[in-house]
Amino acid sequence: MRDDSTKWHPALGMDRHDIDTGGVRISLIHPDRMTLISGPCNAALEWSGIGTAIGWPEVASGHSYALRCRRDQILVVNGPDLTDGWHADRGLAVSDMTDGFGVVDICGGDALAILCRGTEISHEEPSRSANRAFFGYAVMIYAYDAQNHFRMHVPRQLLDGLWSLLQSFAQQASVVAEMDK
């Protein structure tokens, strides 16, 4: 029976301050909806009205897009409102995961350097899936909108651990950028 309350920093809320080092800005974003769909990928995309499911290093853009998780699974961001369950007519399984992920936006000159601290990732090695291990955290990483701009989805319960890690990486990256000047 131990009270470790003081050993762990209180979890930050969903409206936390951005991390801004000048070399990168890291913020939490809140999609209106996230939906996990399993089954034939093309059928899932058609039903959601989205053209393609992003892996790496394709660039997602706009309000609605889809991420390729597995051979037979996508995550739709800001897609249509679908009912949870098995849809026999389409052969697709649906689960609302809107509250299941923390979504982290990473933007700036140091952004790729931060990713390279957590995993071996490069534009020269494409991958069909956005799913990756980042310093041991199971996340989705993808390019969003522009160069030096990425997003990361993490299971909600590990958002605080990941956030604290990204903070360390951002500080390290800005130190290296300074020293290399």
Partner 1 sequence: MQRFTCPFCGLRDEREFRFSGEAGKTRPDTTRDVSDQQWRDYLFANRNPMGAAREVWVHQPCQEYFIMERDTVTMDVIGHQQLRKDAE
Partner 2 sequence: MTGTRVAKGGLIDRSASLNFQFDGKSYKGHPGDTIASALIANGVRIMGRSFKYHRPRGAWSGWFDDPNAIFNIRLGGDELTNCPATTTTLEDGMEARSVNAFPSAKFDIKGGLDRFHRFMPAGFYYKMFMWPDWHLFEPSIRKMAGLGKLDGHEIEGYQSDQIHDHCDLLVVGAGAAGLEAARTAAKSGMSVVLVDDHRTAGGSLYQMADVEGVCPSDWVHQALREIKAAGGRVLPGATAYGIYDHRLVAIAQERGFGLAPLLIRMRVGRCLLASGALDRPVTFADNDRPGVMSLNGAADLLARYGVLVGERLAVMAPHALAADQVALLRQGGASVEIVENIEDTPEALGGKRLRGLRANGRTYDCDTILTSAGLMPVVHLWRHAGGKLRWDDTMSCFVPDSGPDWIEAIGAANGTFELEDALAEAQAKVGLSAAPARRFAYYATPPLPVAGSMKRQWIDLLHDVTLKDIALAARENYVSVEHLKRYTTWGMASDQGKTSNVAGLSAMAAIQGKSIPQVGTTTFRPPFVPVPLELYRGVHKQQQNHPLKRLALEPQHRSAGAAMGEYGGWLRPGWYGQGEPIDIVNREVLMARGRAGIFDGSPLGKIEILGPDAEAFVNFIYYNTIKTLKPGFIRYGFMLTEGGVVYDDGVIARVDDDRFIISCSSSHVDGVNALLEGWRQDGHDPEGVFVHDTTAHWSTVTIAGPKAREILGGLDLAMELSAGEFPHMGLRETCFAGRPARVARVSFTGDVSFEVSVPSSLAPVLWDAAIAIGARHGAGPIGLEALSILRAEKGYVVIGRDTDGETMPHDLGFGIPRLKKTAAFVGDRALHNAHASREERRHFIGLDVPEGSEKLANGAHFVKKTKDGFASCGYVTSSYDSPTLGRPIALGLMDASLAREGTEVEVFHLGETRRATVTRACFFDPDGERLNA
Applying CB under 8 A, the residues found at the interface with partner 2 are 1-5, 8-11, 13-14, 36, 38-39, 72-73, 84-86, 88, 91, 93, 95-101, 113, 116-117, 119-122, 124, 135, 137, 155-162, 164-165, 168-169, 172, 175-176, 179
Closest separation between CB of residue 100 and partner 1, Å?
A: 16
What CA–CA distance (Å, rounded) separates 135 from 11?
20
Choices 18-26, 69-77, 81-89, 108-116 (CB under 8 A): range interacting with partner 1: 69-77
Q: Please, which residues have CB within 8 angstroms of residue 123's CB and are 6 or more apart in sequence?
A: 57
Would you say 46 or 70 has its CB closer to partner 2?
70
The correct pick among 132, 149, 151, 153 for binding partner 1 (CB under 8 A) is 132
Q: Which one of 10-18, 28-36, 94-102, 122-130 is the stretch in contact with partner 1 (CB under 8 A)?
A: 122-130
Asked if residue 49 binds partner 1 (CB under 8 A), the reply is: no
Helix count and strand count (H, E) for the chain: 3, 13
Quick check: 133 binds partner 1 (CB under 8 A)? yes
Nearest-approach distance from CB 61 to partner 2, in angstroms = 25
Can you tell me the distance from the alpha carbon of 110 to that of 19, in angstroms, rounded to the nearest whole number?
12
Residue with Cβ nearer partner 1 (122 or 168): 122
Q: Which is nearer to partner 2, 61 or 70 (CB)?
A: 70
| Burial of residue 49, with CB atoms counted within 10 A of its CB: 0-12 exposed, 13-18 middle, 19 or more buried | exposed
From the CB of 90, what's the least distance to partner 1, in Å? 14
Does 136 bind partner 1 (CB under 8 A)? Our answer is: yes
**In sequence order, what DSSP letters do the residues of 22-59 get, joined into one string?**
SS-EEEEE--S-EEEEES-HHHHHHHHT-S-EE-BS-E
Q: Provide CB contacts within 8 A for 47, sequence distance 6+.
A: 37, 80, 82, 90, 92
d(CA 113, CA 109) in angstroms, rounded, equals 8
Structure tokens belonging to residue 137: 């955290």
